[in-house]
Structure 1
Amino acid sequence: MTFLLAGLSVRALAQSAARAGHPVVAVDYFGDSDLADRVACRSLLRQGRPAYDAKDLPGLAAGLAYDTLAYVSNLENHPRVVRDLAGGRPIAGNTPETLRQARHWPTLRRVCAEEGLAMPPTLFPGEEATARKQVEWLRKPVKSGGGHGIDFWDGRPLARGWYLQTWVPGVSASAVFAANGRESLVLGVSEQVVGDRKLGAHGFRHCGNIMPLAPELGGGEALTRALADMAARLTRRFGLRGVCGLDCIIAAGPNGRPRPVLLEINPRPTASAELIEERGLGSVFDTHVRAAAGALPAPADWPENGGYLAKGIAFARRPCRLPEDTGWRRPELRDVGRPGDAIAPGRPICSIVLPGATRRAALEGLYAAARGLERDLASKEEAS
């Protein structure tokens, strides 16, 4: 059985599929070298499209031979694109109908209220007058992804395609779980690295994860149980399938103990899932396919004294170009473009995956690797 992998960037899922022996073809935006090295792929960028539009992916996939569709970010926001890519074939993951429900914010608000799940007060166009003035509100795009477009609300009326959520102080976190439509199993919990200027990011831009969530940030068995309950309730209500994610804020609950406050469901494999596989806890793609078909994996805990794993995105601070030679590439660099690629300021250069004995060591390792990457690219550019 051949799978089509589709989304903004499919390198991590393609690598996982290859490790598990699943034949795949791929369509995404970047067409990075470490994707092209592993599978047959087509890329919007390599076909001259300067900007990503998910609606272009079905045309890109035309003529490819595949039996089943699997997808990643940001296709959860485009159920019609998922339908067109599937073209009547099976989908390893959530159906377009499930996406329409799980990513419909008024429905999610109602379900959380009915299930007793914590979610920030959330308002939609026409409800702005009910916004409490004593708290800060974030203006967010309905078709969210990676923190793009999020900013503090200035009080103006909301346009269609936007909503408000109260800003909740706490730790940004992600949970990865497998679901079979009825039951679920949390696979890992991580801290989200957001807007870190040392990685070239700003604002609310997602720029990495550190797994597991450190105890000093609220991580531990009690939080994992709370996230497991949240994932189980949402799985039952929406019929979620495959490897999915929850984005949340770890905030102080009424009893003062840390609790998860749900921000959104990501009903597809997430970027942080790669850290689970990197630790040796099984193929994420294989888990995704089996869970979507109804079989959950056996529980597997993060190894005691296993340290931490960090995955960061290094963003360009100035215009740069990837060298023609490959001598600058190191094993920890992922999602690496092709020789000669020009990268504008604010765009991702690549991902970095590194271990650390402590959370701080893992984070400092990302910073050091990002600085080293900048130096390498600058020196190569000067030499040319």
Structure 2
Amino acid sequence: MRILVIGQSVRNIAISAFRAGHSVAAADCYCDLDLVEVVEVHRLRIEDLFNADKINAIVESVDPDAVVLGPGVETVRINGYSVMNNSPDRILRVSDKLWLSRWLEEREYPHATTWESDPPCDRKMILKPRIGAGGYGCRIFEGGAVPPGHIVQEFVEGVPASASVICDGSDARTIAVNEQLSGMRWLNADGFRYCGNITPLDADADVRERIAHIAEEIVAGLGLVGSNGVDFILARNKPVVIEVNPRFQGSLDTVELSTGISVFQAHLDAFDGRLPAARRARYFAGRAILYSSERIRIDSDLRRLVLGIMDVPAPGSVIEMGDPVLSIISAGSGRRGVVESLRAKRSALGQILRL
């Protein structure tokens, strides 16, 4: 198929589609080296993400068989083309943390209790955008009025985790259970900011199976299609649901490296009612997103200096303080070795970039 993947940053989705044998065009805001060398790329400006006419014009110029909408544009309505995503209305509803909390409560799933206003003051809380992802804008709630467009959610102590789920709208299959990395100081990620994954989650098999089962029930119950994710906190080996992501997840790279499953092809097949066969993880795989602690300029192709990196900015790129620089990738037989490898590569990059 001729596929157009469009969004703020779509390297992982577009490369997965390319590896699955499709003819791929991509449109994103970064045009990383490992994307432009593989597929046809159209550059977007950040402001274009909020311009439905611009997005539709790019779709018409590429004239694909199908469109996949990535980060920043998942709810844009595309005219006259097949869109392989959950519907905009369903995405907005499921992404609403207050609505989802009430949905989970009605069905008695273990979840983080959520308030729109007047939260109790006798426990630790997190203030979050009511609709948002990646940990952006999340911080410890220090009391007072809840700002418009935000919710307060109970703070659950434990290991951040996620389930990667493929669903056909009524039946679902978990293809991986992952550890989530967030707010890692060694990656210059502050607060609760998402900064990567390790697949699989290093936990007992029965714990992973419990997470997988809950995620399948939730995603199927919500009527989602394609690749979707459910975020958890593993609190004393008990999974607590935090939110649902009705879209491709940042764990795509580690899921594919660990399991050998083509996430993109599984996503497409789900729209035809076909779910992937269950497959065990072959080894551990990790992705760590390095953020910039200051404004920097990239002077060379970093792939020539450090192996195992992705989302590589082109020479001449300027990275603003707080923005992602690139992703670090590693795989091995155990979690500890993967983390040590990620940290070693991050250290090498720190010396090169002075971060």
Q: TM-score range by the shorter chain?
A: over 0.9
Q: Mark the CA change 1:52 to 1:223 in structure 2 (over 3 Å): closer, same or farther.
A: farther
Q: Mark the CA change 1:25 to 1:147 in structure 2 (over 3 Å): closer, same or farther.
A: same
Per the alignment, residue 340 of structure 1 pairs with: 316
**Do structure 1's residue 54 and structure 2's residue 38 form an aligned pair?**
no
Name which of 169, 185, 190 aligns with 1:181.
169
8 A contact 2:165–2:173 mirrored in 1: yes
Per the alignment, residue 118 of structure 1 pairs with: 110
Q: Mark the CA change 1:327 to 1:183 in structure 2 (over 3 Å): closer, same or farther.
A: closer
Map Cα deviations across residues 162-188 of structure 1 (whole Å, 9 max, x no partner). 111010101111110111111111111
* Letter in structure 2 aligned against 1:313: I
**Do structure 1's residue 300 and structure 2's residue 273 form an aligned pair?**
no
Per the alignment, residue 35 of structure 1 pairs with: 35
Per the alignment, residue 179 of structure 2 pairs with: 191
Once residues 271 and 57 of structure 1 are traced to their aligned partners in structure 2, the CA distance between those partners, rounded to angstroms, is 24
Once residues 279 and 63 of structure 2 are traced to their aligned partners in structure 1, the CA distance between those partners, rounded to angstroms, is 35
8 A contact 2:229–2:245 mirrored in 1: yes
Where does structure 1 lack aligned partners over 5 or more consecutive residues?
A: 253-257, 380-384
Name which of 250, 253, 265 aligns with 1:286.
265
Secondary structure (helix, strand or coil) at the match of 1:270 reads: coil
8 A contact 1:190–1:212 mirrored in 2: yes
Once residues 215 and 132 of structure 2 are traced to their aligned partners in structure 1, the CA distance between those partners, rounded to angstroms, is 20
Q: CA deviation at 1:55?
A: 1.3
Q: CA deviation at 1:232?
A: 2.6
Q: CA deviation at 1:225?
A: 2.6
Per the alignment, residue 266 of structure 1 pairs with: 245
Name which of 160, 167, 179 aligns with 2:155.
167
Aligned pairs for 1:137-148 (under 5 A) are 137-148=125-136
Per the alignment, residue 102 of structure 1 pairs with: 94
Aligned pairs for 1:240-259 (under 5 A) are 240-252=224-236, 258-259=237-238
Per the alignment, residue 276 of structure 1 pairs with: 255
8 A contact 2:136–2:193 mirrored in 1: yes
Once residues 281 and 221 of structure 2 are traced to their aligned partners in structure 1, the CA distance between those partners, rounded to angstroms, is 28
Aligned pairs for 1:347-366 (under 5 A) are 347-366=323-342
Once residues 165 and 52 of structure 1 are traced to their aligned partners in structure 2, the CA distance between those partners, rounded to angstroms, is 31
**Once superposed, what is the RMSD of the aligned Cα atoms?**
2.0
Secondary structure (helix, strand or coil) at the match of 1:310 reads: strand
Q: CA deviation at 1:325?
A: 4.8
Once residues 309 and 149 of structure 1 are traced to their aligned partners in structure 2, the CA distance between those partners, rounded to angstroms, is 28
8 A contact 2:332–2:338 mirrored in 1: yes
8 A contact 1:179–1:240 mirrored in 2: yes
Map Cα deviations across residues 31-87 of structure 1 (whole Å, 9 max, x no partner). 21211111112222xxxx4x46631365155122112121233445xx2x1x1xx21
Once residues 34 and 173 of structure 1 are traced to their aligned partners in structure 2, the CA distance between those partners, rounded to angstroms, is 28
8 A contact 1:184–1:228 mirrored in 2: no
Aligned pairs for 1:184-263 (under 5 A) are 184-214=172-202, 219-252=203-236, 258-263=237-242
Map Cα deviations across residues 106-131 of structure 1 (whole Å, 9 max, x no partner). 3312221122111111011xx32xx2
**Do structure 1's residue 73 and structure 2's residue 71 form an aligned pair?**
yes
Map Cα deviations across residues 311-358 of structure 1 (whole Å, 9 max, x no partner). 001112233221245663544110011111111222211001112333
Identity within the alignment, % = 32
Map Cα deviations across residues 229-270 of structure 1 (whole Å, 9 max, x no partner). 322322333211101111110113xxxxx2211111111111
Per the alignment, residue 323 of structure 1 pairs with: 299
Q: Mark the CA change 1:245 to 1:58 in structure 2 (over 3 Å): closer, same or farther.
A: farther
After TM superposition, the score normalised by the length of structure 2 is: 0.93
8 A contact 1:72–1:270 mirrored in 2: no
* Letter in structure 2 aligned against 1:233: E
Secondary structure (helix, strand or coil) at the match of 1:174 reads: strand
Q: CA deviation at 1:271?
A: 1.1
Per the alignment, residue 377 of structure 1 pairs with: 353
Where does structure 2 lack aligned partners over 5 or more consecutive residues?
A: none
Per the alignment, residue 255 of structure 1 pairs with: none
8 A contact 2:165–2:176 mirrored in 1: yes
8 A contact 2:3–2:66 mirrored in 1: yes
